[in-house]
Amino acid sequence: MHEDRPFREITLQDLERLDPVTIRTARSCANCGRCGGACLARIRDLSPARVLRLLQLGRLDEVLTSRFLWACIGCRRCSRCCPQELDVATAVVRLRRLAARHPRATFPEHLLRLLCS
Amino acid sequence: MPPKVNLQKCDGCRAESEALCVQICPGDLMALDENNGKAYCRSARDCWDCMSCVKACPNGAIETRLPYQLGYYPAKLIPLVGSNKISWTVVDIHGKVERFTFKNRND
Amino acid sequence: MPPKIGVYLCHCYGEIGKILDLEKLSQQAGKWRGVAASIHYPALCSADGLEIIAEDVRQGRVDRVVVGACSPAVHRDTFLRLARQAGLNEHFLERCNLREQCTRAHRDQPALAMAKARNLLKMAVGRLSPAESFEPVSSSTSRSVLVVGGGIAGLTAAENLARAGVNVTLVEKSPFLGGKVARLHRYYPRFCSPRCGLEVLMARLLATGRVTVHTLTEVTGVRGTAGNFMVELLKQPRYVKDACTGCGACLEVCPVEVAPSAALPPGRQRAIEGPGLFPYPLNYAVNRVFCRGKSCSRCVEVCPAGAIDLDQEEDRLSIGVDAIILAAGWEPYDAGRINNYGYGRLPGVITSMDLEVLARPDGPTGGQLIRPHDKKPVRRVAFIQCAGSRDKQHLAYCSSVCCAATLKQIDYVRAVAPEAGIFVFYMDIRTPGNLEELYRRTREEHGAVFIRGNPYAVEWDPGAEELVVTADDTLSGSRVAVRAELVVLATGMVPCAVPAFERLEKDTTGFITGHLPCSPMEVRRAGIYVAGCAQEPMDVSTSVKSALAAAAECLATIQNQSVVVPPVVERHKCDRCGRCVEECPYGACSFDTGGYPAVNPLACRGCGICQGGCPLRCIYLPGFSSREMAGLIEAVDTGSMDEQPCVLAFLCANDAYPALDLAGTRGTSYGANILAVRVPCAGAVNAGWINDALLSGIDGVLVVGCRTTECHYGRGTSLAESRVNNLRETLQRMLVEPERVQVLTAGIEDGQSLVAAIKRFVKQLQELGPNPFKE
């Protein structure tokens, strides 16, 4: 079976919703992938590196509905190891704020239960 | 028997002027083939096996077959020319080898 | 008068003296034919030691000197100076390697070392007895240089040479100087206008008063070598005389519009062209490809100066120069050949050179960022890197400048359209050194989106009247599409073909380059230097650097005398076969008026490839005449070490000889019966020497050269191989084992593996038994 994946058009309008720190982090990222290697909370191919790459391609929705944002434990290893001295961890935290308000947010259910009970 | 030219080794002395074998042949029998620029003997019958061309060839491309009166193939007579010496290797029809080295000035 | 040879043996403060019995050796040497004096001394390189030799020479006790001491690779100038001060011809001083290749290598076997030392000394004496003196040849030069190409590299080289007092002839095939750089809008890293830099350069060049410029001129033939090139030039008619004032009236009336490229619409360009923003020369030129000729003649009628003459004809001239700088530059790769990007077929697909034209204020859009064919404003620009580059179907190599050029062009775009979206499709971004900053700035400040993937296709969306670029972004693993009004193909650089120089050796990418890294500017024909993008793809500042380097190397050649003592030709033996002329890697050897080879000392680099191929051994470097080599070879005592085969090894002076020295210095022993002869290149070994060696009873002969790709002189090792193979075939017929003669290769650091190879060879010889010619 051939996977039917269409060409996804790159549009950058969504990024206008981002705050300046996150947008600067995404733009300056040189895609070295070091943060992805350092991340303790990496889920399969989801990592800070992947988040930044998706942002560069304007795919904010995908980022905000990603489970990775909630898996982050805030260890800040990504920020410490970034060769471009970008504050990746802060960008992830800022993205969480947006994600919480996203209609299709994947706020972890066990946390949701905890908070709502 | 006339000289036989190994076409792989002969470079016609680059055909710039007369090849060395052409210059040295006392009977003026050697010539360059116009098609491939390689040397050949143009009148086999007139060759009396002096072997001047064999000695002169810088690439060792010429071989003389011995006349049948002296020995059938594979009998051979091959010179190696040094500055002050020349050596002759004689191989008879049974493959027996003898070598003779003489002093002379060749350069 | 028989020679009076002095044999001087050095103890090297014990390093030689402790292992060899120099007293005995010196006594033995004193009895050899031709030896007039034989002494030993603690250190010959000391002031006292040198004085002993010098005094003997001055007093006339000796007229030739053998120094038995360290390797000839060390203390070179010490003994050269000695020869000069004592009035001894430097070719009458022979070094005998008693340290590196004798006492160091065989320190554990003093008896063998002694026998080897005796052999080496005998060889040195044997070679020196028939030696002749040589004087360095000098040749006068009128000092003039031809620079091919009027781009930034050519102009820079011309300017520097002219300022150094050299007369320069500059030829340019197009009507105007400045080359590709004059067509750029800006150049990195400073983002200034290139016309400013060209202007300064031109002013300084013209101020020297030593330059003759020929535009619309091509080189059609080159003969000769360094110091005396004859160059044929073909000058196309310009149809505009020097009376032209550059008023531009002709441009107004010319009916033929000319498009700047396949993707751009005609702007103000006509069949008669003006010089643009870099006006050298000022007068206009008629492009005969487009001009309708005399049937139109509107420009002729309107010209107030009466400068246009459509009857001009081409002109041929020939000039003599000492050296040539080849700065013929580059052409962009033909983007039309990359089918899936649609250049020339889809509106809005342009090349990076087209974008330079568009960005310029004098371009067809006046520097505005609008799509050239429909004037639609451009909101998004997609750049496609490696358009045809690193692609075996097109250009297999990286042109090194396109990455930075694209980053620069993103700056152009954002300067006139600060909101424009920028998308860059790339395989790798290559921005070495300071250019990384440019890359960072492009990402951060211009928000360019970098998509890692070579686009699959560029298509036209007729509904939206936009271009769509599709690719696979390998970083995110997803297929992406980008809509853009303008797609810029970053095409690579192709060297301009100059038919007159087509025979020069080229690298695998088709560029003409010298020997990297030793002599990168001088190509394999002495006296021709290559600068700028003719050498390899490079940016403007690197072009300028390469032009300066080429000018420096060129100056050294034309100002100086020869680097080496060139070979001599014994005319009475020569039969003018022309092998030396054909095989000389530097074109230093040519026929004189009598048809004999003549060596140009300025062009000769002393490799000796000519002597290696000479069937009559009538061309040779000092020290390598057939008499000297026969003297050396026949002096070898092949019976001195019965248990070991005797090997004569011709070692290339660049790599193999120092490698064997090094092995000895490290104490790596090899057969003590390996007698090394230092030759400039494996290609300098004449088959006659090998005949001599075999006839003298030497059991095996080695020719050791550099690895084929590393040979300093190009083909030395491969020539040696083909010559040896010829000989081996003859040996086979003579029922002499061809394995007795071998060609090996070694790098300068390969002492250990060379020794291992030599040991294998010796073992083979032991199995074969003694040389059948041994009496």
- pLDDT per residue as tens digits for the range C449-458: 999 999 999 9
Between C647 and C504, the higher pLDDT residue: C647
pLDDT 10s digits, C20-36: 999 999 999 999 999 99
pLDDT 10s digits, B58-87: 888 998 877 777 777 778 889 999 888 899
- Give the mean pLDDT of C673-681: 93
Q: Where are the beta strands (DSSP E) in C322-369?
A: 323-326, 330-332, 349-351
Instruction: With a cut of 70, list the residues of chain B below it in pLDDT.
Output: 1, 15-17, 106-107
pLDDT at C629: 94
Q: Is residue A1 over pLDDT 50?
A: no
**Among C383, C414, C425, C449, which would you mutate to test the A interface (most chain A Cβ atoms within 10 Å of its Cβ)?**
C449
Let me know: does C26 contact C38? Beta carbons within 8 Å. yes
Q: Are residues C340 and C304 in the same domain?
A: no
pLDDT 10s digits, C181-215: 999 999 988 888 888 889 889 888 988 889 999 99
User: Is the link from the previous residue into C372 a cis peptide, with omega within 30 of 0?
Assistant: no
Q: At what angle do helices C110-128 and C22-30 cross, to 10 degrees?
A: 30
What's the CATH code of the domain at C245?
3.30.70.20
Domains observed in chain B: 1-65 (3.30.70.20), 66-106 (no CATH)
Q: How large is the C-alpha radius of gyration of chain C?
A: 33
C428 touching B (Cβ < 8 Å): no
pLDDT at C6: 95
Q: What residue has token string 């009458």?
A: C92
- Mean predicted lDDT score pLDDT of chain C: 90
Burial (CB count <10 Å: 0-12, 13-18, 19+), residue A52 = buried
Query: What SS3 class is residue C403?
Result: helix
**Among C582, C614, C625, C734, which would you mutate to test the B interface (most chain B Cβ atoms within 10 Å of its Cβ)?**
C734
CA angle, A55 then A60 then A61, to 5° = 150
Token couple for C704: 């050791």
pLDDT at C147: 97
Q: Are residues C215 and C232 in the same domain?
A: yes
Q: Could you give the CA distance from residue C272 to residue C300 in angstroms, rounded to a whole number?
A: 11
Written in H, E and C, the secondary structure of C249-311 is HHHHHCCCECCCCCCCCCCCCECEECCCCCCCCCCCEECCCCCCHHHCCHHHHHCCCCCECCC
Q: Are residues C181 and C286 in the same domain?
A: no
Token couple for C388: 């045809």
Q: Could you give the CA distance from residue C517 to residue C370 in angstroms, rounded to a whole number?
A: 46
Residues of chain A in contact with residue C482, where contact means CB-CB under 8 angstroms, are 9-10
Domain boundaries, chain A: 13-116
CA torsion angle C398 C400 C404 C405 (round to 10): -80
Across the beta sheet with C217-225, what order do the strands follow?
A: C217-225, C228-235, C315-321
pLDDT 10s digits, C463-479: 999 999 999 999 988 99
Q: How many CB atoms sit inside 10 A of residue C35's CB?
A: 23
- Residues, chain B, total? 107
Q: Are residues C325 and C212 in the same domain?
A: yes
Q: Is residue C488 over pLDDT 60?
A: yes
Percent of chain C with pLDDT strictly greater than 70 = 98
Q: Could you give the CA distance from residue C180 to residue C14 in angstroms, rounded to a whole number?
A: 66
pLDDT at C158: 96
Q: Are residues C10 and C62 in the same domain?
A: yes
DSSP H or E run through C589: strand C589-591
Annotated catalytic residue within B28, B48, B72, B106:
B48
Q: How many CB atoms sit inside 10 A of residue A58's CB?
A: 20
Domain end among C452, C472, C492: C492
The partner residue sitting opposite C421, judged by closest CB among A12, A24, A56, is A12
Q: From C627, which residue of chain B is nearest by alpha-carbon distance? A: B83
Q: Are residues C244 and C95 in the same domain?
A: no
The partner residue sitting opposite C476, judged by closest CB among A30, A54, A84, is A54
Fold of A13-116: Fumarate Reductase Iron-sulfur Protein; Chain B, domain 2 (1.10.1060)
Q: Are residues C404 and C508 in the same domain?
A: no
Closest C-alpha among C86, C48, C44, C101 to residue C67: C44
Rounded to a whole number of angstroms, the distance between the first and last alpha carbons of chain C is 33
**Amino acid sitting at position C119:** N
Closest C-alpha among B69, B51, B46 to residue B3: B51
User: Domain count of chain C?
Assistant: 4
**Chains in touch with A (≥3 Cβ pairs < 8 A):** C
Contact call for C733 and B78, based on CB within 8 A: yes
Q: Is residue C563 over pLDDT 70?
A: no
pLDDT at C408: 96
Domain with C250 in it = 238-311
Token couple for C352: 């990076």
Q: Are residues C213 and C322 in the same domain?
A: yes
Q: How many CB atoms sit inside 10 A of residue C415's CB?
A: 15
CA torsion angle C158 C161 C163 C168 (round to 10): -60
Question: Is residue C155 one of the residues assigned to a domain?
Answer: yes
Question: Is residue C764 one of the residues assigned to a domain?
Answer: no
Per-residue pLDDT band for A5 (boundaries 50, 70, 90) equals: low
pLDDT at C268: 79
Chain C stretch 470-489, residues whose beta carbon is closer than 8 A to a beta carbon of chain A: 470, 473, 475-483
Written in H, E and C, the secondary structure of C701-763 is EEEEECCCCCCCCCCHHHHHHHHHHHHHHHHHHCCCCHHHEEEEECCCCCHHHHHHHHHHHHH
Question: Is residue C767 one of the residues assigned to a domain?
Answer: no
Contact call for A7 and C483, based on CB within 8 A: no
Let me know: does C717 contact C707? Beta carbons within 8 Å. yes
Let me know: does C642 contact C702? Beta carbons within 8 Å. no
CA distances from C177 to A34, C159, C401, C477, C496 (A): 49, 13, 22, 48, 16
**Longest CA span, chain C:** 103
Token couple for C295: 């049937």
Q: At what angle do helices C626-634 and C110-128 cross, to 10 degrees?
A: 150
Question: Is B88 a known active-site residue?
Answer: no
DSSP C132-157: ------------EEEEE--SHHHHHH
Per-residue pLDDT band for C128 (boundaries 50, 70, 90) equals: very high
ipTM of predicted complex: 0.91
What's the CATH code of the domain at C537?
3.50.50.60
Contact call for C480 and A8, based on CB within 8 A: yes
Closest C-alpha among A69, A39, A71 to residue A51: A69
Contact call for B17 and C733, based on CB within 8 A: no
Q: Is residue C753 over pLDDT 50?
A: yes
Q: What residue has token string 């008669």?
A: C272
Contact call for A7 and C480, based on CB within 8 A: yes
Token couple for C6: 């002095």
The partner residue sitting opposite C695, judged by closest CB among B76, B80, B91, is B80
Domain end among C134, C157, C187: C134
Q: How many CB atoms sit inside 10 A of residue C508's CB?
A: 7
Q: Could you give the CA distance from residue B43 to residue C485 in angstroms, rounded to a whole number?
A: 80
CA distances from C264 to B56, C346, C347, C350 (A): 68, 11, 9, 8
Q: Are residues C365 and C433 in the same domain?
A: yes
* Backbone dihedral angles phi then psi of residue C466, each to the nearest 5 degrees: -130, 165
Q: Are residues C446 and C349 in the same domain?
A: yes
Whether chains C and A touch (3+ CB pairs under 8 A) is answered by yes
Burial (CB count <10 Å: 0-12, 13-18, 19+), residue A112 = exposed
The partner residue sitting opposite C423, judged by closest CB among A8, A10, A29, is A10
Question: Is residue C575 one of the residues assigned to a domain?
Answer: no
Domain end among C101, C134, C167: C134
Question: Is residue C665 one of the residues assigned to a domain?
Answer: no
